[in-house]
Amino acid sequence: MDMEWDDWYMILQDLAAKHRENVSDADAWREPFDAGQSPEEAFYDEYPEHKG
């Protein structure tokens, strides 16, 4: 998935809002973005209780 940071983070924020989680520390999310994870993968790795 080749996505710009702003688009990736917007998807992550939408997902977090849906699950009432806080992803406001953008710097903390750069690592999964740089590693090539999708926003969904990164979110569910951090918050596995919301998966499925």
Tokens encoding 28: 């903390």
Q: What is the pTM of this model?
A: 0.91
The contacts of residue 3 (CB under 8 Å, 6+ apart) are none
CA-closest candidate to residue 3, choices 38, 29, 44: 38
**What are the pLDDT digits (tens) for 9-48?**
999 999 999 999 999 999 999 999 999 999 999 999 999 9
Tokens encoding 52: 């499925």
Q: Where are the domains of the chain?
A: 5-50
- Distance, in Å, from the CA atom of 39 to the CA atom of 32, rounded to the nearest integer, reads 8
Cβ pair 39, 15 in contact under 8 A:
yes
pLDDT at site 2: 74
The helices-and-strands tally (H runs, E runs) of the chain is 3, 0
